[in-house]
């Protein structure tokens, strides 16, 4: 994909409302500019004395009033937004996802979804992996919100993915599976198999990647009846479990490990253990899920990173990780019929709701979820990751209507 970013001065005001569906490129009004690094836009303020929370943003980017407003609100205190019902937050979140898709309309990746929005560069380039994962989200949402335009958007995402070369992306594979299972598109399964074959042979650098591969390969292997993919899924799952430390922590190249990396590994283990009927993997997932749940505060706050031994190692919240953990805990509640998992998910969802700003004229920021809270914290400072919206929406639907996202694959005997 081309390394482009949407001009932040133009895109938020030019977004076509989500209910309008997919419009023509000429109607969008977007301008695309070469991606700019934070350093490209930095101010020369080395001699300025600034309070610590303000020092980082002023040094790193040229601020606008809308950005400074968000920063000042977090300085005054986080998790203070009105908490509304699940349906209201779900609708708001998916409206923002639609705007993230519209942001890519005039690029070479039209139909795909922007990976996120940042204060420094505006809308980020499209991500095939994120786009694939969002197809799993939009299709059930179209039904439960009675919002058929979301189905049209999911078809556009699939068309964009199918137009691209196979690359073994786990997210792309999950989107193709959803297109086959939920939309009955015959062109999706064969491409899912080809992408899975590429994934099976790809080098893996972390436990999280092995776990992701195990989940994707197992899903395609079961649905397509491909024994070679199931064998590869078992191998990747075994490798992931071998790397897990005795306390159940998931190591990574960068330590402390972000809550998102931990939640991603946990989610993949849960799903792979179900598809492969692997009791050892299930117990490993339960152990990690319990440890993370034990660190969740009553108000839903959770540290943004952990060291081995499950030692909290960050003063901020990783919203993407917390949202995905809510999905994990709801999945475990369904599997185990243990209500304590659901209680943890409720606390996490309530905290995220209190950090979603559903008012304002800036369409790039309204309904968006910051990747980190406070906004200036952690490696994802000043970012709004589209995956945060995906997992938040998934968890809201899973709790609201009792479904699983992705759904259970028929034909797997869990007894």
Q: What percent of the chain has pLDDT over 70?
A: 84
* CB atoms inside a 10 Å sphere around CB 120: 24
Domain count, the chain: 1
| pLDDT band at residue 40 under the 50/70/90 scheme | very low
pLDDT at 171 over 60: yes
> Which has the minimum average pLDDT: 37-46, 136-145, 279-288, 290-299?
37-46
| pLDDT band at residue 409 under the 50/70/90 scheme | confident
409 located within any domain:
no
* CB atoms inside a 10 Å sphere around CB 202: 14
**What are 214-257's pLDDT values in tens digits?**
999 999 999 999 999 999 999 999 999 999 999 999 999 999 99
168 located within any domain:
yes
Burial pattern 285-301, b for ≥16 Cβ within 10 A else e, equals bbbbbbbbbeebeeebb
pLDDT at 414 over 90: no
414 located within any domain:
no
Six-digit token string for 388: 């945060």
* CB atoms inside a 10 Å sphere around CB 350: 14
d(C-alpha 83, C-alpha 65), whole Å: 25
| CATH at residue 25 | 1.50.10.10
410 located within any domain:
no
Residue 200: give the domain boundaries: 4-401
324 located within any domain:
yes
Angle at CA of residue 357, ends 153 and 355, nearest 5°: 110
| pLDDT band at residue 2 under the 50/70/90 scheme | very low
pLDDT of residue 410: 75
**What are 332-390's pLDDT values in tens digits?**
999 999 999 999 999 999 999 999 999 988 999 999 999 999 999 999 999 999 999 99
d(C-alpha 76, C-alpha 334), whole Å: 38
Q: Are 315 and 372 in contact (CB under 8 A)?
A: no
pLDDT at 261 over 50: yes
pLDDT of residue 55: 53
411 located within any domain:
no
The DSSP secondary-structure symbol of 381 reads: T
146 located within any domain:
yes
pLDDT of residue 56: 54
* CB atoms inside a 10 Å sphere around CB 147: 18
Nearest one of 233, 305, 293 to 262, comparing CA atoms: 305
Q: Are 362 and 69 in contact (CB under 8 A)?
A: no
d(C-alpha 357, C-alpha 354), whole Å: 8
| pLDDT band at residue 71 under the 50/70/90 scheme | confident
294 located within any domain:
yes
Q: Is residue 2 exposed (0-12), middle (13-18) or buried (19+ Cβ within 10 Å)? A: exposed
d(C-alpha 387, C-alpha 207), whole Å: 20
**What are 146-164's pLDDT values in tens digits?**
999 999 999 999 999 999 9
pLDDT at 6 over 50: no
Q: Are 126 and 32 in contact (CB under 8 A)?
A: no
């Amino acid at each position: 994909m081309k390394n482009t970013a949407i001009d932040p001065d133009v895109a938020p005001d030019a977004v076509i409302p989500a209910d309008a569906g997919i419009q023509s490129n000429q109607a969008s009004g977007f301008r695309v500019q070469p991606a700019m690094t934070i350093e490209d836009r930095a101010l020369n303020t080395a001699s300025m004395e600034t309070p610590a929370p303000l020092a980082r943003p002023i040094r790193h980017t040229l601020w606008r009033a809308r950005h400074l407003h968000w920063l000042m609100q977090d300085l005054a205190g986080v998790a203070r937004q009105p908490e509304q019902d699940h349906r209201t937050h779900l609708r708001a979140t998916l409206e923002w996802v639609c705007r993230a898709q519209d942001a890519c309309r005039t690029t070479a990746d039209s139909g795909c979804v922007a990976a996120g929005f940042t204060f420094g560069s505006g809308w980020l380039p499209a991500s095939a992996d994120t786009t694939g994962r969002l197809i799993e989200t939009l299709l059930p949402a179209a039904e439960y919100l009675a919002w058929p335009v979301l189905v049209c958007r999911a078809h556009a995402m699939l068309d964009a993915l199918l137009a691209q070369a196979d690359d073994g992306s786990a997210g792309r594979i999950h989107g193709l599976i959803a297109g086959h299972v939920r939309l009955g598109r015959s062109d999706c399964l064969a491409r899912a198999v080809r992408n899975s074959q590429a994934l099976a042979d790809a080098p893996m650098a972390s436990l999280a990647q092995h776990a992701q591969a195990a989940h994707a390969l197992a899903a395609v292997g079961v649905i397509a009846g491909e024994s070679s993919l199931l064998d590869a899924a078992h191998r990747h799952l075994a490798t992931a479990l071998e790397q897990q430390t005795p306390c159940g922590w998931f190591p990574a190249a960068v330590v402390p490990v972000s809550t998102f990396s931990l939640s991603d590994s946990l989610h993949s283990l849960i799903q792979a253990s179900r598809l492969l009927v692997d009791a050892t993997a299930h117990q490993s997932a339960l152990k990690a899920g319990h440890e993370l749940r034990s660190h969740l505060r009553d108000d839903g706050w959770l540290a943004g990173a952990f060291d081995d031994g499950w030692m909290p190692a960050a003063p901020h919240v990783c919203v993407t990780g917390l949202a995905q953990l809510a999905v994990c805990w709801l999945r475990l509640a369904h599997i185990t019929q243990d209500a304590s998992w659901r209680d943890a998910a409720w606390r996490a969802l309530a905290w995220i709701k209190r950090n979603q700003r559903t008012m304002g004229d800036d369409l790039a920021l309204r309904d968006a979820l910051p990747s980190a809270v406070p906004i200036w914290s952690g490696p994802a400072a000043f970012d709004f990751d589209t995956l945060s919206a995906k997992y938040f929406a998934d968890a809201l639907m899973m709790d609201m209507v009792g479904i699983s996202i992705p759904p259970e694959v028929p034909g797997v005997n869990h007894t």
